[in-house]
Amino acid sequence: MIERRTVFKAALAAGAALVAAACSSENGGNALPTGAAGADGEGGQPVAKITAEPAADAKDVPVLKPAVLKVADGKLTECKLSADGGKTVKGDLSPDGLTWTSSEPLGYGKTYTYSAKATGSDGKPVEFTGKFTTITPAKQVRATLNPADDQTVGVAMPISVKFASPVKDRKAVEKALSVKTDKEVEGAWGWLSDSQVDYRPKEYWPQNITVNVEAKLYGVDLGGGAYGKADVTTKFKIGRNQVVKINTPEHQMHVYRGGSKVKSYPCANGLDAEVDRNTPNGTYIIMSKEPSAIFDNARYGYTNVNKKWACRFSNHGEFIHENQDNAANIGKTNNSHGCVNLLEADAKDYFDSAIIGDPVEITGSKLSPPMNSDVKDWNFSWAAWQGLGAK
């Protein structure tokens, strides 16, 4: 009996030695498992297998594509992805321990090294290593977004994304854009040029709502070797509903709040006898406000003319402003070069009530809307505006 117990203890000791050898052995090389066969040659290779996406040595990997490490017949115990210079990329391990996924965008033109360890269902460890390289854009294109954060704007204010270079893949851009509001609003994106896309609602914005815009452009393939340089976002508010309405033959400027007329001011508009000097028909927005503005127009022989309380509503050259020098004609005759002239007290009163993005609706003129203005969004019908989206 003593001899039999001694033999049994010796067998246990030999088994322990085999387990220790299996846990400590390592095989070098890319994507090769660790864990050799047992000391007696009968243990076999570990059953766990780690795979990666992107695959080892992949080139021109998109920066928005997450790196994924997976294991079969085992569980991941350690995962790491690092860029040039050693910066570690953040990632998440699934609750079941089968998948690790990077959780932040990758950088352009970088080489990433991943490494992983896992324990197989047979208790044996495996390791995995590899490298891949991300895309290097021919050009990185910056974009700007308007309105800016925390602004309060009028109910006709469009959202505008402008690119530093022309965009070829408009569909890719639109997929990266989102607009969220407190209330349901029907709206659409329209391309005003190869480097500008605007969003406007079908009707004016509902008053007193918050608008959140995301342009997740980093990593987006814009076409022609160009990629988005960075994401841009904004959060702004729509203010009270205030609309200016001018029927030019009436020589009156009416201000509506919430649909009700609250003010009327006598005005003088563009000269009726010269179509080129008419205040053009159309729907515009207040683009800027200047307490004092200098006006020059060599074509009509005036320079360095200073007028107060100027609200620009078109890059074609139209403003609502004070012109006390023209008081005799205000409310009676249209004789300006296209601007809306008000008496000084009325101009100040309106100036104080206006905000950027308020609509200005002009009717009764012989001049069509100028389509060379920066903000011409509302001079398209809704059907025509929808036709400006990516095809």
Distance, in Å, from the CA atom of 182 to the CA atom of 186, rounded to the nearest integer, reads 12
Q: Are 75 and 119 in contact (CB under 8 A)?
A: yes
In the structure encoding, which two tokens stand for residue 270, read together? 């563009």
Question: How many other β-carbons are positioned within 10 Å of the β-carbon of residue 157?
Answer: 29
Q: Strand 221-223 to strand 187-193: parallel, antiparallel, or no bridges (unpaired)?
A: unpaired
Element housing 384 (H / E): helix 382-386
Q: Strand 252-257 to strand 242-247: parallel, antiparallel, or no bridges (unpaired)?
A: antiparallel
Please name every residue paired with 171 in a beta bridge, in sequence order, or none if there are none: none
Q: Hunting for tokens 């030999």 — which residue is that?
A: 14
Specify the DSSP class assigned to residue 303. E
Beta strands across the sheet bearing 58-61:
58-61, 125-134, 111-120, 74-82
> Quick check: is 254 catalytic?
no
- For residue 22, the one-letter residue type is A
> Quick check: is 251 catalytic?
no
Say whether 230 sits in a helix, a strand or coil. coil
Catalytic residue of the set 251, 316, 321, 337: 321
Q: Are 124 and 46 in contact (CB under 8 A)?
A: yes
Q: Are 71 and 84 in contact (CB under 8 A)?
A: no
Distance, in Å, from the CA atom of 320 to the CA atom of 322, rounded to the nearest integer, reads 7
- For residue 152, the one-letter residue type is T
Q: Sign of torsion, CA 370 371 372 374?
A: positive
Which positions are annotated as active-site residues? 321, 339
